[in-house]
């Protein structure tokens, strides 16, 4: 007897193997995308840090004082504070609007920062000479800063501190 075609068992085995391989491919692809977004977050933070350090060294076009960082009034006014600022720098990989927000408390530890950074937000915390949060008051000089961000792959919160501590 000549047999043409495949038996049902052979078809089920092939479909099962192909499904397993497809599932592994999808899982690996999603992990790769998350790693790419985390790399973009790290690059964004490096760019923001670079802008802040440049501001510390040379101020902005309207500034006559040097050696300070912008206070919390930086948020929403980045183009005023930084020369040649690219607004895409402060956009999280998954958002189209600004992701830079300011800290609202004086605690400078990762666990105590409010609001907690999410994968869609970077938290900027300017710190005054006395160690308190440097708000938009003109009487305070911001002498250092912390930038907080969260990675998507391992959900860890990371901190970048100013070079001039």
Residue with tokens 């100013």: 162
Whether the pLDDT of residue 62 is over 90: the answer is no
pLDDT at 107: 45
pTM of the complete model? 0.74
> Which residues neighbour 123 within 8 Å (Cβ) at sequence distance 6 or greater?
101, 102, 103, 113, 115, 116, 117, 147, 148, 149
pLDDT digits (tens, 9 = 90+) for 82-104: 777 777 777 777 666 667 777 76
Whether the pLDDT of residue 106 is over 60: the answer is no
Q: How many C-beta atoms surround the C-beta of residue 32 within 10 A?
A: 10
Question: 102 to each of 8, 12, 28, 121, how far by Cα in Å?
Answer: 62, 56, 35, 10
User: How open is the CA angle 116-142-110, to the nearest 5 degrees?
Assistant: 25
List the single range of 5-9, 61-65, 70-74 with lowest mean pLDDT: 61-65
């Amino acid at each position: 007897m000549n047999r043409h075609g495949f038996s049902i068992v052979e078809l089920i085995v092939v479909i099962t193997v192909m499904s397993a391989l497809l599932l592994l491919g999808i899982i690996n692809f999603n992990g790769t995308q998350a790693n790419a977004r985390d790399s973009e977050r790290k690059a964004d933070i490096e760019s923001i840090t670079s802008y802040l350090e440049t501001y510390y060294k040379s101020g902005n076009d309207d500034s006559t004082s040097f050696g300070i960082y912008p206070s919390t009034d930086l948020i929403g006014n980045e183009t005023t504070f930084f020369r040649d600022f690219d607004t895409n720098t402060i956009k999280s990989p998954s958002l189209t609007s600004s992701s830079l927000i300011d800290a609202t408390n004086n605690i400078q530890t990762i666990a105590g920062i409010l609001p907690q950074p999410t994968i869609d937000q970077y938290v900027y915390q300017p710190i005054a000479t006395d160690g308190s949060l440097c708000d938009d008051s003109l009487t305070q000089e911001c002498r250092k800063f912390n930038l907080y961000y969260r990675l998507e792959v391992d959900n860890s919160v990371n901190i970048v501190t100013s070079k001039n501590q």
